[in-house]
Amino acid sequence: MTARQRLLALRCRPLDAASAINADDLLTQLRELPGWTVEGGAIARSYAFANYFEAIAFVNALAYMVHREDHHPDLVVGYNRCTVRFSTHSADGITLNDLICAAKSDAIFEQHYCPE
């Protein structure tokens, strides 16, 4: 099982301040999540779409997933783009929950918006 598959199989759970991932471990983990970068205490990625309808459909699918995980991102939505930022406020940093949701966000995007 790859690290990405492991993230997809996990569920988010309540975390505290001691749960933040250190910088070295975070960079290692992000190698499994291409396109995600560290920006101001969060991990972020922008997704591109053909039009506004696809961008909003992605946001709705993302909203369903993060609601089930009880781990909500900051979103910036434009005509054909959505930027997603995950961080864990209770840990004042980036945690496993952020990586889980990043992997699941990528899976939604790949399943619906990437031609095979």
- 8-34 pLDDT, tens digit each: 999 999 988 889 999 999 999 999 999
Per residue in 39-70, pLDDT (tens digit) is 999 999 999 999 999 999 999 999 999 999 99
We report the CATH number of the domain holding residue 93 as 3.30.1360.20
Specify the 3-state DSSP secondary structure of 88.
Answer: strand
Q: What is the reported pTM?
A: 0.94
Q: Is the dihedral of CA 15, 29, 59, 110 positive or negative?
A: negative
> 105 and 65 in contact (C-beta within 8 Å)?
yes
Structure tokens at 112: 């619906």
> 86 and 107 in contact (C-beta within 8 Å)?
no
Q: Would you state the pLDDT for residue 115?
A: 63
Q: Per the domain annotation, does 23 fall within a domain?
A: no
Number of other residues whose CB lies within 10 A of the CB of residue 68: 11
Q: Per the domain annotation, does 105 fall within a domain?
A: yes
